[in-house]
Amino acid sequence: MSNLNPVRLIATKRDGKALALDDLRAFIDAYTGGAVPDYQMSAFLMAAYLNGLSDAEAAALTDAMLQSGTHIDLSSVSGIKVGKHSTGGVGDKVSPILVPLVASCGVPVAKLSGRGLGHTGGTLDKLESIPGFRTSLSVDEYRRQIDDIGCVIAGQTGDVAPADKKLYALRDVTATVDSIPLIAASIMSKKLAEGNDALVLDVKCGRGAFMKTEADARALAETMAAIGAEHDVPVTAVMTNMDVPLGRAVGNWPEIVEVIECLRGEHDDTPLMRIVRALAGEMVALGEKAESAEEGEERVQQVLDSGAALDRFFQFVEAQGGDRGLIDTPSARDGSEPVAVVRAPDDAQGYVADLDALAIGHAAVDLGAGRRAKEDDVDPVAGLSDLKKPGDPVAPGDVLARLHTRTPSAVEDVRAAIRDAYSFSDEPPEPVAPVRARYDTSGWSDV
């Protein structure tokens, strides 16, 4: 640590002044190596939480976390590799659809994903609900798969951004999680480690997302794009709606079933698939397989219609050890059938007016589909399916949701909460655009 004075650095940020970037990097290095104690890092995190970080400081923090571990090198893989990250939401099954879809357009996609915590599900948990599917891959396996079939989704190893892991654990117990520059640095340190050449961000906004307001979603997108620019990685952000669950299934295996249906073309004109096509179009354009995002969407639709995207999903599942037979016949999954339904109350007449994504996310956790603490196990088949959504016609006694769980005692506890998540009206509600805006180096634009 030599000339670094942690107390002086903490005081500088406490007083709202700019940090010397080399000092910030050295401070993170020293903390990762054990030379800076938790109490000093806690003081720094609170100072950063209260006074913010500049774009340059956030980029330096990201760089220090990135350099603390393995940076996967995919330079041997031909083509422009394009990554994707979502800030998380209820029913967000975009990645298992998007990754093989974009790969089938000729753009390699390497992705490190996480597990669910709280009301939002995790991509790894969803994929691991496919019996046999492996998400713990070595760097060599990761690189070989992206070379062989053009796509991979794996868990973050302990070698990737270990500084971020230490910092996040500390943020979680010091009330400093909800800081946009700290969130951005945490996300981007892992995204830059994936080995991709460009990145598309799905920044979710609404009551079911971590970013509840459009202002916060915009600030997070801009901060992450600025960090990408500092590291010469082009970033495009798409702001998407997360007031209601995305799709008609929430849980792990229930969402994988919906993924398969989407790739078969069964949910083409839905908010879920409109978001998928928007993100995929951006990725295909960044991968230089289309002149624009609009042309990219046309290419995406072609591979969906031809069945090439579904074929690539089959290859992806088989490459990571998943049971191909259950992808062909999802209803054969042991224990996957619904155990109960929630019906519309007697005063439900007309249309579904609204559905609270946050309440549905909590109901899925109560059924066993999610975690309240990191060490909790999940029930791979638990969740909800066939959700009625805003705009759907409804009458008393109609099925609002089908419930899946291996813990039947949980059913009665969630029934009332699910009913309360719905509201009804005589007239259909105004449709809400699933894609709100996009951001790149030219600034924000409506979609």
In sequence order, what are the beta bridge partners of 87? none
Q: Taking the mean position of all CA atoms in its chain, how far away is CA 306?
A: 27
| 190 flagged as catalytic | yes
Which of 81, 166, 171, 371 is catalytic? The answer is 171
Question: Quick one: tokens of 297?
Answer: 């969407």
- Of 387, 312, 361, 330, the residue nearest 92 (C-alpha): 361
104 conformational bin, left if phi > 0, alpha if psi -120 to 50, beta if neither: alpha
In angstroms, rounded to a whole number, what is the distance separating the alpha carbons of residues 382 and 230? Answer: 42
| 85 flagged as catalytic | yes
What does DSSP say about strands 393-394 and 151-155: parallel, antiparallel, or unpaired? unpaired
Amino acid at 45: L
| 186 flagged as catalytic | yes
Which of 13, 25, 81, 85 is catalytic? The answer is 85
| 343 flagged as catalytic | no
Which of 164, 197, 243, 440 is catalytic? The answer is 164
> CB of 109 within 8 A of CB of 83?
yes
Which of 68, 113, 186, 336 is catalytic? The answer is 186
| 267 flagged as catalytic | no
Question: Quick one: tokens of 384?
Answer: 């909800």
Which of 25, 84, 115, 190 is catalytic? The answer is 190
Catalytic residues: 85, 164, 171, 186, 190
